[in-house]
Amino acid sequence: MPITPDYALALDVGSKRIGVAIASLSFKLPRPLCTLVNDDDFFERLSGLIKTESIGVLVVGLPRGLDGQETGQTKYVRDFVDQLKTHTDLAVHFQDEALTSTRAEAELKARGKIYQKGDIDALAATYILEDYLLQPKETN
């Protein structure tokens, strides 16, 4: 009997860094995992995470303008996902990421602890994954 991957991984894609969050598909409690540098070795590092964390689905935050319009960053993320799909056979889903970075930064400030930009990215990825997991899924 094949082993079924049990986790979802979310990516908050930026040109310099990519925030990563993880959640069990059973318990649906996302948490920040790490922040990866968006460089030539990114897909190799992501592949390692997919294997070690038993990932079954990828969720990528899709940025849009405040009125829902496509922006330059939207195109960047869509192009990134096209490239991502050449590196994995996993299902890749888009999730609206409206204001997730703003929300993440506000939460980190409220905690009163010192944080880095990568902490914002990883927490934003957590919000992206949370929103994805809370959506009703179609049943066959």
List, for residues 62-110, the tens digit of each pLDDT value. 999 878 889 999 999 999 999 999 999 999 999 999 889 999 999 999 9
Q: How far apart are CA 128 and CA 108, in angstroms?
A: 16
Give the residue with greater pLDDT, 135 vs 92: 92
Q: How far apart are CA 51 and CA 137, in angstroms?
A: 25
The pLDDT of residue 98: 87
Domain of 39, in residue numbers: 7-134
**Is 89 inside a domain boundary?**
yes
In DSSP terms, 34 is beta-bridged to 20
CA angle 73, 74, 77 (to 5 degrees): 85
Of 56, 60, 15, nearest to 36 by C-alpha is: 15
pLDDT digits 0-9 by tens, 5-30: 689 999 999 999 999 999 998 899 99
Q: What CATH number has the domain bearing residue 16?
A: 3.30.420.140
The pLDDT of residue 85: 96
Question: Is the model's pLDDT at 48 over the cut of 70?
Answer: yes
**Is 79 inside a domain boundary?**
yes
The tally of domains found in the chain comes to 1
**Is 139 inside a domain boundary?**
no
**Is 140 inside a domain boundary?**
no
**Is 1 inside a domain boundary?**
no
